[in-house]
Every structure is written in structure tokens, then in C-alpha cells.
A and B are shown apart, each in its own frame.
Chain A
Amino acid sequence: MSIERTYAEINERIKSGQAVVLTADEVVSLVEEKGVAQAAKEVDVVTTGTFGPMCSSGAFLNFGHPQPRMRMSKVWLNDVSAYAGVAAADAYIGATEPTEDDPLNKEYPGEFRYGGGHVIEDLVAGRKVKLRAQSYGTDCYPRRELETDISLDDINEAFLFNPRNAYQNYNCAVNVSDKTIYTYMGMLQSNLGNAHYSTSGQLSPLLKDPNFLTIGIGTRIFLGGGVGYVAWNGTQHFPAMLNASGVDLHPSGGTLSVVGDMKQMDARYIRGASMLGYGCSLSVGIGIPIPILNEEVMRWVSRSDKELYAPVMDYSDAYPNRTGELLGYASYADLKSGEITLQGKRVKTAPMSSNPMAVEIANTLKEWIKKGEFEVSQPAQLLPSAKDNIVAKALNTDK
């Protein structure tokens, strides 16, 4: 009889301190040694981790009401504009918003030293942040201007609400043109001078549950050092089978929208980032537990870097102009080795996301579960997967 477990059974074992928990790295070697069936019998939960720039991130903040009251209609935090079109004392600070007087790319490539992601990091780190607000004034909210310092402790709610995080898989970015380019995938040297990739491969949450058998709305996760939840699928959630000249590799293209209380977070796992010539961002640490419900879940979770692939794309033309053309596929084992071969040329590789931090997050989550502090949650609803054939829409600019 092959093993079947329920969420309730797994949580019973977690509560009694008996759960067997491995990281996604560790489970790869266990399955190599003992096979899927035996590993599924032995292991209750596998923890994954990822840490890297996730641009589609931001935070909802409620500042509390000043006296007299103010219906804040324009808000800046450390001179970074936040969206204040939500009620009187709420705002949303987006990770990629630059400082108001940032020279941007006028002096190319721009440095983008401080932006929304850095504001979020400063708040999580407990540092003071300057709040400036303007309003037009109403009878019930007469105040028109405000400038003060706030900290995370001073304000009511602060929760990260990231519309698109934890990309299942990502392009390996290269540059075939004859000049250096500056992208959200870093500085790409001319004539295939380097290749950048950006997932943690065999540690990456959605590559380890590629068919969304366990991850769904309400899944409890590690988010930025605290406990968070999957709120919905991410925007641009287009899970589809990666197919290399007729061979199905594995699903790719899923994303998550996640939410979590900033007051629980640790600035080690929430960092403002500056991408040269591109813009500001936020590096986010995410870890997702995968409950081993059956052998099928174990089979996917045990996929190694050798069996996981990134599509290789040119960012000088194919990406910006949306030609869809790929230069091939590279396995994460090859990408992590430091060199891949493209068009007969040896190309050095570098990651954008941190492998040591991904390992640290998977290990932290493992410890939480082993100590009985963190239970796995059954999703209220599973997310669309590759078999739902969601088709990405392009924006038509001819209308």
C-alpha cells in the first residue's frame, strides 16, 4: 500500500514533536538513496526556500489618525511616494517606487539608491521613517498638511501584500548584442559575456510542487522571517508545461500573491535592492512547507537541479521586443556550476537569488515545524495549474 497522509495527521505529528521534516535539498539525496516510495513513507514535510529581488511587492500601512483628522491624499515615506487613494490614513508603498527626485536613468545607468523596497526594509528594521502627507481638506478631515517621523511600532497595521512573488521558474538572461545592457536581471555583458539566472532551483517552492497539489489559498508560509500566507495566485500566474523541442520538462510560470505581518518580520529577509540602470526593488525571503500527502507529491518534491531547467532568453532583443524566441534551456545543475555552453560558446553564469539564504530559510522553517511552532495548513482552495491552460494576454497598443 502506498502512503497517504492527511493534513490533520501531519499536524498531529508536528504537535507531538514527531514529524520528520527535511529540506528540499536533503530530500533529493534521500530519494536517490531509498527511492520515492520509501522516502514518502519516512518524511512528513519538506521545506523549500527562496530569497531574491521580487519587484511585485509592497505594503499596506495604516498610520493612525492625527488630530485634527486628515484625509491623506498624497503620501511620501522618506520622500518615496506611496499610493494614498485608499481611505484617510491608509497607503500602499510599492517596492519599485523610486525616491521622488531620483535622477532615474538620466545619468545612465542610474543607481536607484533608495526606493519603496528600502522604505519597507527600514520599517522592518525598526528605523524611523519620515512621513509627509498632503490633502485638500474636508469638513470631517480638515487638516491639509502633515510631516512627522513614524516607526513600525508607532503605526497600526503594516502588512506586506505582494501581488506576484515566488516565480515558479525564471528565464536565464543573456545579451547577444554588442553592448552591455542593464536589466532587472542585472548587468548583462555583450556577445554572451555572461548569463544570469534567478531561482533557487531544487530549493525553489513552486518548482517542488509544480502541479499545485498542496500550495493554494491559505497555505501558511515563511515570509520575510515571520509567518505569512498565500493570499491568491500571483498576477501573471500562467502555469504551463515547459517543452524543449517536443520533450516535456516540468511545469513553469506559476506565481503567488502573499501576505504577512511586517511587525513579525526580520530585516535579514526583507531587503531594499537597487538594480543598476533598472530601478529599485525588494529582496524577499519566502519558504513554503510541502506536506507529503502521497508518493506523487514526493516524486515532484525530490526533483533535483539536474532535472529542472531555465529557458535561456536574450534580453537585448527577444525579451524587450517580445519575439518569444529562446536560445535553449539550461539545467540548474549547469547554471549553478558557474558555466554553461550556448551557441558553442562557454558562458559564465551568476545567480540573482541567494542560494545560502534559500538554504537558511528552508532550515529555519524546518526547525519551526520540528519544534511544533508551525503547522501546515490545508488550502481553502487550490490554485490553477498547467492543466488549466491559462493563456497570457498581451496588451494591444493599436486600438
Chain B
Amino acid sequence: MSSKKIILRFTAATSDKPIIYNLVKDYDLMVNIIKAHINPEKEGTLVLELTGERYQEGINFLEEQNIKVQKLAEQVNYNQDRCTSCGTCTDACPTGALHLERPAMQVQFDSDKCIVCQMCVKVCPMKAMEVCF
């Protein structure tokens, strides 16, 4: 089962809810705390990695508690049908994951090299690169 990373943002009013307990106990999720920045009755953030069948229910629960949930991009998807091999993204991509194969100048995407910086998502005129959560 794949795990998903999320950022939670608390307000002063929501910062002392026992949400980790609920995620584990009520939704059977495995919770890995990656980063925590929380003080009682202050704004704070929490970066979590969640694994479990009932992931979406857990997210719904968090949102019902008025906690802002932001999903962290896991990967970018290359939509080959949309891509015209213009090549515009190839000098913006810092790792060479998107590169031109010469001499045909066909654009190739090597997902192993991708660091999900999302530069290509911004510059691609065809919107062929999409963020996946």
C-alpha cells in the first residue's frame, strides 16, 4: 500500500485536538510524523506520512475538524498525447529528467531522474506535465 504525504495547518483553535490518536484508532492509519511545529493554542504545522486503506476517510475527518490539509506532490505525470515535443521544458528541468533525444529532437521523460520540482508543470505550454498527489 502506498503512503501519502500531507501538510496540516492548525489555527490556535484547532492546535490541541488529539488528531493522531483519531487517525490511528478510528481510521486504522499508520502515521509517520515527518516534521512537527505545534504549540498549544498557537498556529502550527505538521507534516505526516499516512498509510492505510481508509486514507480518504482520515482526510475527510481532518477537514471536518477545520484543519487545513495540503497534499504534497508525489510525482509528476507525463501525458505523452498532450506533449508536442516542443522541447521548451528541457532547459528548465534541473535534472535532465525531461530531455531531447538528438538528432530527432524527440522529448523523453525519465521519471527516475525526476525530483518533482514542478518547473516543467509551470512552463509546459501544452500542460502535458501534471502534478499527482
Contacts and interface: CB of A to CB of B under 8 A. Distances in A.
Interface of A: 51-53, 109, 111, 113, 186-187, 189, 194, 196, 271, 273-276, 281, 283, 336-338, 348-357, 359
Contacts of A352: 86-88
A267 to B, nearest CB: 10
A274 B126 CA distance: 7
B106 to A, nearest CB: 5
A349 B88 contact: no
B102 A271 contact: no
Most buried by A among B89, B91, B103: B91
B42 interface: no
A348 B91 contact: yes
A271 B84 contact: yes
B42 to A, nearest CB: 29
Nearest to B99: A338
B86 A353 contact: yes
Contact of B125 (A275, A338, A349): A275
A167 to B, nearest CB: 15
Given A51-B84, A196-B88, A354-B84, 17 more contacts: A194-B91, A194-B92, A274-B127, A275-B125, A281-B125, A283-B126, A336-B102, A337-B102, A338-B102, A348-B91, A351-B87, A354-B85, A355-B85, A355-B105, A357-B84, A357-B86, A359-B104
B125 A354 contact: no
Nearest to A195: B91
B91 A350 contact: yes
Contacts of A51: 84
Contacts of A349: 91
B17 interface: no
What's the dominant secondary structure at chain B's contact region? loop
Contacts of B84: 51, 271, 283, 354, 357
A266 B85 CA distance: 17
Nearest to B86: A354
Interface in B88-123: 88-92, 100, 102-106, 122-123
A113 B127 contact: yes
21 contacts: A51-B84, A111-B122, A186-B123, A187-B92, A187-B122, A194-B92, A271-B84, A273-B126, A274-B125, A276-B123, A336-B103, A336-B105, A338-B102, A350-B88, A350-B90, A350-B92, A352-B86, A352-B87, A353-B86, A354-B85, A356-B104
- Interface residue tally of chain B, by bracket? 20 to 34
Q: Which of B100, B103, B105, B127 is the most central at the interface, judged by chain A CB atoms within 10 Å of its CB?
A: B105
A353 B86 CA distance: 5
5 residue pairs, one from A and one from B, having the closest CB atoms: A355-B105, A350-B91, A273-B125, A194-B91, A351-B87
A187 B88 CA distance: 9
A283 B90 contact: no
Given A281-B125, A338-B102, A357 B91 contact: no
Contact of B106 (A53, A283, A338, A356): A356
Interface in B56-99: 84-92
A283 B125 contact: yes
A194 to B, nearest CB: 4
A356 B86 CA distance: 8
Given A281-B125, A356-B105, A338 B100 contact: yes
A351 B105 contact: yes
Nearest to B82: A271
